[in-house]
Amino acid sequence: MPRLKKEAAKKPAPKKPSAKRVVQKDKPIPKAKSKAITIDIIADDEEVLFREPLSSLPEDNPSEREQLDVQKKYFSDLVTDMKQKKDGPAVKASSLAGGERRRPVQRKSLSLYRRIAYQFIGLTLLLLLVVGYFFLPSLKITMHPSAEAIADSLSLRIASADSEDALAESAGSRLVAGEVRTITLSAEKVFESSGEEILGEEVVGEVTLHNEYTKAQPLVAKTRLLSVDNKLFRLKEAVNIPAGGTVTAEVYADKASLDMAVGPTKFTIPGLWLGLQDKIYATSDTAFEYQHQVKRFIKQRDLDQAIVGIKKALSDKAEMALAEVQGGTFAVAYNLDDSAAAVKIDAKLGDEIGEFIVSAENTLAIAMFSKEQAEALVKAKIAFLLPDDKKLSAFDGKDIAYRLDTYDAASSTATVAASFKGNMSLRTDAGIIDRKQLVNLNEEQISEYLQAFPEIQNYELEFFPKFIKRAPSLADRIKVEVVQ
C-alpha cells in the first residue's frame, strides 16, 4: 500500500482509462469446454489505480497481484489467437497457459510480387497484340459498277376497246388499246435515160474579129484562126471586117477533142499577109465548149434505179403521213411493204428516148396505241430479265422501236413488235464478292480477284492501318460497298 500511494502522488491528474473490449465469441475456451466466459473489460493495474479512488483500492497483496497478471496474460493470448483465426496466423502463441511467443512468419519478398506483376503485364500486352492482330486491321472495298447493255423485244397485241378480240383477250397481259388505219400512197416521177451512142463531136466557140487597118478586110468561111498555143480553129461563115471596126463570128475546132476547149485567148489569122496579122486578129472572151452528138436510149440500170426512186418517193410521203399522227399519248407502228407497191413505167428497155415517166401506188398501215400501256409492259419484261443482283440503271421510253408485223384493217387489230434496250448495273446490296476469298490476300492478289468480274468498272481499296497492305484475317473485317 505505501508504494501505491507513492506512485499515485507522482501523477498530477488521473489519466483517462483505456479499456480493451472483447466481444463474446461462441468458440469454447481451451481447458474449459463446458463453460463459456464473457469478458467485458481488462484493465492494467495503473488504469485501475487512476480510475478508482484510493479509498476503494484493495490492499497491496503480492499473491493477488500475481493472480491478476496471470489472468491478464491468459486473456491477452486468447484475443491474439482469435485474431489469428480471423485475419491469418501472423503471430502464434505457444500455449494459452503460458510460454514463450514465437517470432512472426516472414513476409514474402517484394521481388516475388514484382516478378508476378511483370508476368501479368507481359501476358496482358501479348493478349492485346493478338486481339489487335485479328480485330484492329480492316479493309474497305468501294466498287463502281460498269453499265451492261440489255436488249430484247416484246410482242404486243393491239385492239380497240370494243372489239371482239379485245373482249376475248381482256385478261391478257400483252393487250394494248389502240386502232389500225390504212392510207393509200401514190407518186409519179420523171427519170432520164443513161444509155447513149456518140454520133459526132465538136468544139465550138465565139470570137471577136478586130480590124485596125485603113481598109475593110473580108474573110471567107473556114478561114483559119491560130491560138497562142498553136491550136487551130476555123470560121463557120464568111465575114467582112470594116476598117477600124470589129465583127463577132462563130468558130469550130479543126480537129474536135476535149483539149481543144480553150479558155479566153488571142488568135492570129495565118492566111493574111504577115504585115497585116498584127492589125487584123481575133480574141475570145469565153471558153470554147466541147460538144458531141449522141443518141440516148434506156438501159436496164435506168429501169432499176427508177423503181428504187419511185419507192423512195412513196416512203417520203409515208413519213409525212406519220408525222401528222405521231406525238401525244399515242405510240405509232407502221408497215409499208415495198414489194407490194404497184409500179408503172411508160417506156421499156432499149427505147431511144432521153427520159421516161414512172408512177407507183402502195398502202401504208398505221397502228396507234397507248404509249403508257406499252412502256409498262416493256418495263415489266425488263424487270423479268434482270438478275437478282442487278438493277436497271438507264432506260428511256423514247428508245423503244415499234414495228407493225401483222394487221387486220377490218377488225382494227394488229401485232406490234416492241424492241427495247437499256443499261443495267450492280445493286448496292449485291453480294458478288465472297469476302472469305479475300482473307489474308495482299493488294495485288485482291486486284487480280476483283478484275475477274466484268460487272466492276473500277474499285478503291482502303486499308487500315494504311501501312498494312493485306486483307484482315477475319472476313467480318472486310467491308464491300457498291457506289453508283
DSSP state string for 102-131: PPPPPPPPHHHHHHHHHHHHHHHHHHHHHH
The domain made up of 199-292 is a member of CATH 3.40.50: no
Per-residue model confidence as pLDDT tens digits over 432-443: 889 899 998 999
Residue pair 418/159 in contact by the 8 Å Cβ criterion: no
* Global confidence as pTM: 0.50
In this predicted structure, the answer to whether residue 169 has a pLDDT above a threshold of 60 is no
**Helix and strand counts by DSSP (H, E) for the chain:** 8, 22
What residues does each domain of the chain span? 2-87, 107-133, 149-193+300-426, 199-292
Q: How many CB atoms lie within 10 A of CB 51?
A: 15
Least confident piece of the model among 24-28, 194-198, 434-438? 24-28
- Cα 343 from Cα 141, distance rounded (Å): 67
Residue 331: what are its φ and ψ, rounded to 5°? -100, 155
Least confident piece of the model among 90-104, 159-173, 316-330? 90-104
Cell numbers describing residue 318:
409515208
Per-residue model confidence as pLDDT tens digits over 234-267: 999 999 999 989 999 999 888 888 888 888 999 9
Quick one: pLDDT at residue 108?
52
Q: Where are the alpha helices (DSSP H) in 326-408?
A: 371-385
Distance of CA 471 to the CA centre of its chain: 25
Cell numbers describing residue 9:
502522488
Cell numbers describing residue 344:
408503172
